Amino acid sequence: MGDIFSHLWDGAIFALSLWNILAIVIGYAIGIVAGAIPGVMAVTAMVLILPYTFTLEPLFAIALLMGIYKGGAYAGSITATLFNIPGTPEAAATALDSYPMFKQGMQKRSLEIALWASVFGGTVSNFLLVFTAPPLAEVALRLGPSEIAALILFSLTAVITLLGDSRMDIWKGFISITLGLMLATVGLDNMSASRRYVFGIEDLDNGVPFVLTIIALLALSEVFIQAEKVGGFTLGNAAEAVSKIIPYTWKQRWLDLKICLKDLIRSSLVGSLLGALPGIGATTAAFVCYGEARRSAKKNARFGDGDPRGIAAPEAGNNAVAASSLIPLVTLGIPGSVAAAVMYGAFMIQGMIPGPMLMMEHPEIIYGLFVLLIVTDFLGAFVVALPFISVVQKIFKNLNYSLFFPGVVVCCVVGVYAEEFNVFNLRIFLALGFVGYIMRKMGMSIPPFILAFILGPILERNTRTALLLSDGSPMIFVQSPITLGLLILAVAALGWSLWRKTRGGKSVLEVPEEFKH
Amino acid sequence: MNARSELSIATVLIGFSMLNYFYLIPTQVVAEGSSPVYPALINTMLLCFSLAYLGEGVRSWRKQRQAQSEGTGGGKKLMVRPLAMLVVTGAWVLSMEQLGFIISTFAFLMIASRIFGSKSWGKTLILSVAMPLIIYFVFRGLNALLPEGPAEELINLILG
């Protein structure tokens, strides 16, 4: 424990420079703007910024991306409150109570509850990350290749089995994972350095670039999806005029804190736990926390009609996911969410491989990241978010989507080109963007594809190393209790999930259809 | 998605995995001297999941037939704009080396914003002129060159 505090102190000295704080502020502001625009998520903004982080200092780049992520996590609640249009999918649960509260003239109350809950959830999750990551990293260092391969398989299975709502979804999810693993095999074989699936094209020797793939699958495919909805983004009657604005007094703040405290604590812990599991994501956490708050409330609760707990619970839950989703990344080197995958990319761009080794060899960087995470919640909320609410309102009302999305495509293409200054990459980018669009049309989820694409080389290296160590015998995967346990868990999770769907049971982590990826 | 589409996709995926087994792995993996074990393992996974997907598709097709509620394929109209965006973006990417970044991006933004339903020529024109120029000068300032064409040559001539 003493070590953690000492490392945190060193991390603070290393990370808390004026530039890094500036990066948080800029990032949070970008995240708020991006998160408030429907159709553009914070992750999209992170992805667009990612290729430009090549020339930045490591912690500046990480702080910038973290700021965007955290800013985006809060921002969705602004438009959800003011216009009943969630800027991000996770804010959809917040809108159920924040918009009715706004309509009653309590705009300030609603936005402040969301802000406080975000800070609370984020902070609890940050501390959970700080105190659980070091012991987990030590355990991770003792894992051999077969255990790591089994862990990756389990993570990929968990992504699908927890989120699929039908058996069809589960099979589609697995196909998505397999296609991601296949794409990762393009290029030089990482053991023998011979070429695979390159069709004689030398540009493919190094494989399909990681940054390009993420931008194509997340941002470009999103633009194609938005092209279908031309004219769909109108405020219509959403932005109803509120004749009377009720001030938010300190007495009311105190009362709200008393009412919400239990839900804040529970939702922060639930969000943190769900976030630490690969693939769950903030949207699911927000709906689970909202459901829990509603379930545990007394009969006189006003859920759906502006109950403060209906805002606090999902906001604390979805913001708690932000930090805890980094736990698998910093401890095992396995990104558990798309945002964590982008952070993984940012580390790679800076020449660092996230995981237990980085934590042991360069603790100042990891603990610096932890300190920045803690600072981001407070700094972002009080320096950026509060003054930015009116800015977001203006941007949201005046944004011209017909010019915005073509502009996004230009940013994507320039970002991809700037990575290697290679026009060939743009062709792959375009092809992958369309593949992403088709996959989404087919109802195949993109995040499992991306996670599999990132984890593919690690899975292959460890599987083949394990087989080399055992002279080709697959028995190595059942000899270690950890490997065997993880494989049994993966199979059991799949079996349980299929059985549940056969019986027609709904997912316990139920998210409305329109808010899924 | 209707059940018929699901069945078609599953069939395409099974076809792809067969192609991978019998053509791509021998010619693109084994012939290059790489081990086929891992690619074949993944391909087997793809085949198994695609077969399971096909089975699920057949079940859902039967259900739909019983309920006589097959979809009518109304999604085709929706794909026109994304396809147009794909073609325009492709043309932009391919023409970038010949026309240079500024002119090709200008043309792309003019057309793409129309696809997205822009009605104001003035705003479209401002964006289409300003965005490529700003990006070009930022990259020029960083000594990182974007594909050059007549417009970039003219700027180079003027600025030296």
Q: Which of A47, A15, A53 is nearest to A31 (CA)?
A: A47
Domain ranges of chain A: 2-515
Is B86 in contact with A434 (Cβ distance < 8 A)?
yes
Residue A327 has pLDDT above 60, yes or no: yes
Is A182 in contact with B57 (Cβ distance < 8 A)?
no
Q: Dump pLDDT digits (tens) for B78-105.
A: 678 899 999 999 999 999 988 999 999 9
**Token pair for B27:** 């010619």
Look over chain B and give the mean of its residue pLDDT values, rounded to a whole number: 87
Residue B21 has pLDDT above 90, yes or no: yes
Q: Which of A27, A28, A36, A40 is nearest to A405 (CA)?
A: A40
Cβ within 8 Å of A, B 71-130:
75, 78-79, 81-82, 84-86, 89-90, 92-94, 96-97, 105, 108-109, 112-113, 115-120, 123-124, 127
| pLDDT at position A280 | 64
Q: Which of A11, A57, A4 is nearest to A364 (CA)?
A: A11
Closest Cα of chain B to A239: distance in Å?
A: 23
Cα separation, A306 vs B24, in Å, equals 59
Give the mutation candidate from B32, B120, B129 for the A interface (greatest A CB count, under 10 A). Answer: B32
Side-chain-side CA neighbours of A78 within 13 Å: the count stands at 27
Q: Dump pLDDT digits (tens) for B129-140.
A: 999 999 898 888
| Least confident residue range of A398-402, A477-481, A506-510 | A506-510
User: How many pairs of residues across A and B have Cβ atoms under 8 Å apart?
Assistant: 158
Is B42 in contact with A182 (Cβ distance < 8 A)?
yes
Residue B10 has pLDDT above 60, yes or no: yes
Contacts of A195 in chain B (CB under 8 A): 28, 32, 34
| Residue partners of A363: CB distance under 8 A and separation at least 6 | A7, A10, A11
**CA torsion angle B82 A45 A75 A282 (round to 10):** 80
Q: How confident is the model at residue B11 (pLDDT cuts 50, 70, 90)?
A: very high
* φ/ψ (deg, to 5) at A510: -80, 130
Residue A148 has pLDDT above 50, yes or no: yes
Closest Cα of chain A to B31: distance in Å?
A: 9
Residue of B nearest to A464 (CA): B38
- C-alpha dist (Å) from residue A217 to A61, A292, A435, A440: 22, 33, 8, 10
| pLDDT at position A238 | 47
The stretch A15-37 carries a mean pLDDT of 86
Residue A362 has pLDDT above 50, yes or no: yes
The stretch A88-111 carries a mean pLDDT of 82
| Residue partners of A184: CB distance under 8 A and separation at least 6 | A207, A452, A453, A454, A455, A456, A457, A460
ipTM of the complex: 0.89
